[in-house]
Amino acid sequence: MEAVKNAFDFGDMPRNELGLAAVVLAFLLSFPLMPHSSFGMATMIQFLMFSLYGMGWNLIGGYGGQVDLGKAQYVGIGAYTTAVMMIRWDVPFWFSMPVGMALAVGWSFIIGYPLFRLKGHYFAIATIATSLVLKDLFEVWNFVGGARGLEIPLKGDFPNWLYLQFREDYYYYYVILGMFLIGFIYMNGFRHSRLGYQLRAIKDNEHVARSLGIDVHWSKIKAYAVATAYVAMVGSFHACYNFNIEPEDTMSLDLSVLIAMMAMLGGAGSMWGPIIGAAILVPMKNYLGSWLGGQAGFAGIDLALYGMIIMFIAAAQPRGVYGIVEAMRARRR
């Protein structure tokens, strides 16, 4: 009961932030009713997906200060579990998603135990290594389709709620919006939970945290598992949304980095950070891509610009966009 009360307790947030959140929520709920292009809809779905990925990253990377650059491996596990179960055994999405999450969490325990003996750069690079090993294995594993990946066949008429197959994108939109809201509420609860406080203590100073009786290693592993569940959940959704998955687009280093970048750009270690980051980066990437990338002779200019913007933000405000907000608030006081 305490946990549920915590999850809905937004009392420690500033009034104006809550007001803004309400406006955003109203916008998100009513977006499909407004006139929009299908490109805009796809961008919104991607925005919600990356917000959730970012929340997962933020849990361990932001609150815990453990920079993880291997999140894509859990996207892959979630996506592949759903796809394989759906293709081979006709298992509905709503059943395969929890299984995928469980598998991903299991894997996170296996690699998390040795991983968290490392710190800083060493941890970050080791997570890349595990992710790449898994990706390489999936690329040669015939059971999951090898490098060509898997194609999910249609399972009957649209709209198919059981297998999450729709013709119109707004169905997907509301499914991922539901996940987004649950994820957000859960995150709020996590913030107030025992583990949440432990994690922030670890981030501030590990030695002090240990002297306070916190089992540092185990707390990190637990938080890592929660973060993994977020990412794997969206990975399962990704499989149904795209109908087609391959190791390159679900497990690549680029995806891991993109996930981490969103959270870090918005402001690591805050509730709004990943959402702000995804709200900036996803549209920017999509629109820059369609605006500049499509023109002949200009291939790459969109991503070059994108790289420049990332460099600029990392150099100018290392605490991200939310860091700017906080700095402004501190000045006003």
Partner 1 sequence: MEELGIQILKSLVSGLLMGLVFALVALGLTVIFGVMDIVNFAHGEFLMVGMYTTLLISPLLGVDPVLTLPLAGLVGAVLGVLCYFGLIRFLLRGPMIAQLFGTFGLMIFLRNLALLFMGSEPRIVHQGWLVGKSIVIGPGVVLESTKLAVAVLSLLSFAVVWWLINRTKVGKALTATSLDAEGARYMGISTELMNALAWAVGGASVGVAGGLLVNFWPVDPGVGLLFTMIAFATVALGGFGSVRGALVAGILIGLIVNLPPVWDAILRSIDAVGLRGLDIHSFKYTMVYAIYFLIMVLRPQGLFGWKQ
Interacting residue ranges for partner 1, rule: CB under 8 A: 61, 67, 69, 114-115, 117-118, 120-122, 124-126, 128-130, 132-133, 136-137, 139-140, 253, 257, 260-261, 264-265, 268, 298-304, 306-316, 318-319
Handedness of CA 309, 293, 274, 57 (dihedral sign): negative
* Minimum distance from residue 212 beta carbon to partner 1 (Å): 23
**Shortest spacing between CB 213 and partner 1, in angstroms:** 25
**How many angstroms separate the CA atoms of 60 and 203, rounded?**
10
Which residue type is seen at 77?
I
265 is written with which tokens? 């750009």
b vs e for 250-285, b when ≥16 Cβ sit within 10 Å of the residue's Cβ? bbbeebbbbbbbbbbbbbbbbbbbbbbbbbbbbeeb
318/329 Cα distance (integer angstroms): 17
SS3 of residue 272 by DSSP: coil
Query: What's the closest the beta carbon of residue 66 comes to partner 1, in angstroms?
Result: 10
**Rounded least distance, CB 5 to partner 1, Å:** 32
Q: Which is nearer to partner 1, 26 or 311 (CB)?
A: 311
Q: Of 185 and 257, which has the nearer Cβ to partner 1?
A: 257
- Whichever of 19 and 114 has its CB closer to partner 1, that residue is 114
Q: Phi then psi for 330, rounded to 5 degrees? A: -65, -35
- Name the helix (H) or strand (E) containing 157: none
Asked whether the beta carbons of 129 and 110 are under 8 A apart, the reply is no
Residue type, 314: A
Q: What is the maximal distance between C-alpha atoms in the chain?
A: 61
Shortest Å, Cβ 256 to partner 1: 11
What's the N-to-C CA distance of the chain in angstroms? Answer: 36
Smallest distance from the beta carbon of 262 to partner 1, in angstroms? 11
The least distance separating partner 1 from the CB of residue 83, rounded to whole angstroms, comes to 22
- CB nearer to partner 1: give 125 or 162: 125
Residue 159 or 307 having the CB closest to partner 1? 307
Residue bearing tokens 């109908």: 243
CA–CA separation, 65 vs 200, rounded Å? 8
> Please, which residue, 41 or 253, has the CB nearer to partner 1?
253
CB of 54 to partner 1, least distance (A): 13
